[in-house]
A and B are shown apart, each in its own frame.
Chain A
């Protein structure tokens, strides 16, 4: 059974960089069939897709966040990571990692989510 687990600091200061890692178990992140992505959800609000990556390293990002987002993959550790720079209180959210299944890219496996609060 595929499992995804987010990890990283739960508190980040304004203007700093938010960094999270998603560890995949029960399957290989190098599978040629799937993409991997990050989604966030501010408290009490809806879901926002942040960006996605293929095991080869090709990425695509939400245009509204593109200037601040970097997603990378480490196939040797079966992990992919998110960096969001210059954070503000508006970036406070539960951050989820998930697998995307081509061709219509549903997010079919999700991590449990991790709350990141931006505050001084």
Chain B
């Protein structure tokens, strides 16, 4: 099975800061990488699919990049409503999630 290493596990940033989360796959997964936001008590919400495509209705401050084994998720300007846990998810025959990154406001 492909292992996903997501980092950091948590971060604290100020409103307006640029926030970056990374996900590394144990082997090449092309662009088969998706990103989710989960707020407490809620189901995850798809933000980015195919590594870099913004899901319909998702604010443009969210973006993703990468291919192969190394992927990056970015919030260009952190907003108070972005406080959540973010997960990457790969698909290489089977879908698996990264461990998550909890984003807090400093």
Contact = CB atoms under 8 A, between A and B. Distances in A.
A, B: real partners: yes
Contacts of A48: 97
Contacts of B62: none
Given A46-B99, A49-B97, A104 B43 contact: no
Nearest to A110: B43
A106 B1 contact: no
Contact of A47 (B33, B42, B87): B87
B100 A47 contact: yes
B97 A47 contact: yes
Interface of B: 1, 31-34, 36, 38, 42-46, 49-50, 55, 87, 89, 91, 93-100
Given A107-B95, A108-B49, 19 more contacts: A39-B97, A46-B87, A46-B99, A46-B100, A47-B44, A47-B89, A47-B100, A48-B97, A49-B95, A49-B97, A98-B43, A104-B31, A104-B49, A104-B50, A105-B32, A106-B49, A106-B55, A106-B89, A107-B44
14 contacts: A46-B97, A47-B44, A47-B89, A47-B97, A47-B100, A49-B96, A49-B97, A52-B95, A60-B94, A104-B91, A107-B46, A107-B89, A108-B49, A110-B45
